[in-house]
């Protein structure tokens, strides 16, 4: 069932999404070569709970960490580890979801670690463009298929592939709600967008082929051909006239205290 959010619910979602956005920004500012993904997890956990939020991934269907850290050939759902360290030239996706006053804010971003090869920078840049293009078509009367169609077109035009097995999703009181937001598809198909709908757009774009597999831990999804993968995600709201990106904040909203755990 697709839930249409009330004005009050939308206001709370703006708060939860801004918290998630600030957490992600803080983590990105503090990434460095040589740190472990477990250190990133600790920062995320402390940053979130010290502001009154709850890291929504912790305990979700048995997931044991407060965010997902997906490095290089990991597409999504990477598990932070004290034995995995960031190396110069890596790319890493950090995916954090904040639960605040009963509502979820979900966002992720792929970051550069040190000096990254030009072809990997292109992969990351194109993935970001794919997300923005998917968001740009969102408005009342548009269809979910419009999102996937434009994302797939941009990815393929640049020689990259789109992961089919994982998708965006409705979000609100529940972490994952209807509808599913695929990042491939045909324009004019799927659910029609209506004001008050909230969902994520989070394309996963591979440098090589689109095929993936899940590792033995039951969570970590990697490319079958070991090519690298990038992802970006925003939570958006369908408004009366278009859309609003909820997982963002204005530069003037970043305060000195936001730089502290």
Considering the domain boundaries, does residue 2 fall inside one? Answer: no
Q: Is residue 32 in some structural domain?
A: yes
What's the pLDDT at 1?
Answer: 87
Q: Mean pLDDT of all residues in the chain?
A: 98
Mean pLDDT of the 39-56 span: 98
Q: What are phi and psi of 148, to 5 degrees?
A: -65, -35
Q: In which domain, by residue range, is 14 found?
A: 7-80+87-251
Question: pLDDT tens digits for 145-200?
Answer: 999 999 999 999 999 999 999 999 999 999 999 999 999 999 999 999 999 999 99
Q: Residue 44 pLDDT more than 90?
A: yes
φ and ψ of 216, to 5 deg: -65, -15
Residue 16 domain-assigned?
A: yes
pLDDT band at 99 (very low <50, low <70, confident <90, very high): very high
Q: How far apart are CA 98 and CA 175, in angstroms?
A: 10
pLDDT at 37 over 90: yes
Q: How far apart are CA 212 and CA 218, in angstroms?
A: 13
**Cβ contact 230:89 at 8 Å:** no
SS3 15: helix
Q: Into how many domains does the chain fold?
A: 1
- How many Cα atoms occupy the beta-carbon half-sphere of 259 within 13 Å? 5
Say what the pLDDT of residue 194 is: 98
**Residue 260 within a domain:** no
**1 assigned to some structural domain:** no
pLDDT over 90 for what percent of the chain?
100
Q: In DSSP terms, which residues pair with 69 in a beta bridge?
A: 94
CA distance 215 to 125: 27
Q: For the residues 36-43, what does the mean pLDDT come to?
A: 98
Per-residue confidence (pLDDT) for residue 229, from 0 to 100:
98
Q: Are strands 74-76 and 221-223 parallel, antiparallel or unpaired?
A: antiparallel
Hey, how many other C-beta atoms are within 10 angstroms of the C-beta on 204? 30
Residues 204-210 have a mean pLDDT of 98
How far apart (Å, rounded) are the C-alpha atoms in residues 125 and 59? 32
- Domain annotation covers residue 62: yes
How far apart (Å, rounded) are the C-alpha atoms in residues 159 and 61? 35
The CATH number given to whatever domain includes residue 219 is 3.90.230.10
Q: What is the rounded average pLDDT of the residues 93-122?
A: 98
Residue 261 lies in a domain: no
Is the residue at 239 inside a domain? yes
| Backbone Cα Rg of the chain | 17
pTM of the model as a whole: 0.97
Residue 144 phi, psi (nearest 5): -55, -35
């Amino acid at each position: 069932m697709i839930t249409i959010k009330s004005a009050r619910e939308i206001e709370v979602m703006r708060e939860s999404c801004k918290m998630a956005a600030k957490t992600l920004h803080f983590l990105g500012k503090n990434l460095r070569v040589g740190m472990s993904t477990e250190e990133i997890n600790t920062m995320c956990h402390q940053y979130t709970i010290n502001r009154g939020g709850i890291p929504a991934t912790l305990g979700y269907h048995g997931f044991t960490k407060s965010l997902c850290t997906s490095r290089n050939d990991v597409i999504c759902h990477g598990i932070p580890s004290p034995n995995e360290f960031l190396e110069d030239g890596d790319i890493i996706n950090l995916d954090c979801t904040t639960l605040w006053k009963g509502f979820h804010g979900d966002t992720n971003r792929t970051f550069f670690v040190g000096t990254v090869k030009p072809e990997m920078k292109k992969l990351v840049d194109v993935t970001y463009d794919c997300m923005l293009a998917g968001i740009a078509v969102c408005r009342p009367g548009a269809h979910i298929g419009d999102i996937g169609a434009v994302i797939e077109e941009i990815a393929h035009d640049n020689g990259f592939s789109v992961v089919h097995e994982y998708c965006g999703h409705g979000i609100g009181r529940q972490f994952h709600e209807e509808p599913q937001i695929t990042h491939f598809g045909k324009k004019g198909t799927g659910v029609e967008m209506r004001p008050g709908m909230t969902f994520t757009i989070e394309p996963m774009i591979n440098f090589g082929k689109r095929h993936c597999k899940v590792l033995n831990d039951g969570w970590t999804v990697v490319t079958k051909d070991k090519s690298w993968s990038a992802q970006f995600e925003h939570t958006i709201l369908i408004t009366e006239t278009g859309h609003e990106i909820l997982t963002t904040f204005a530069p003037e909203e970043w305060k000195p205290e936001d730089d502290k755990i």
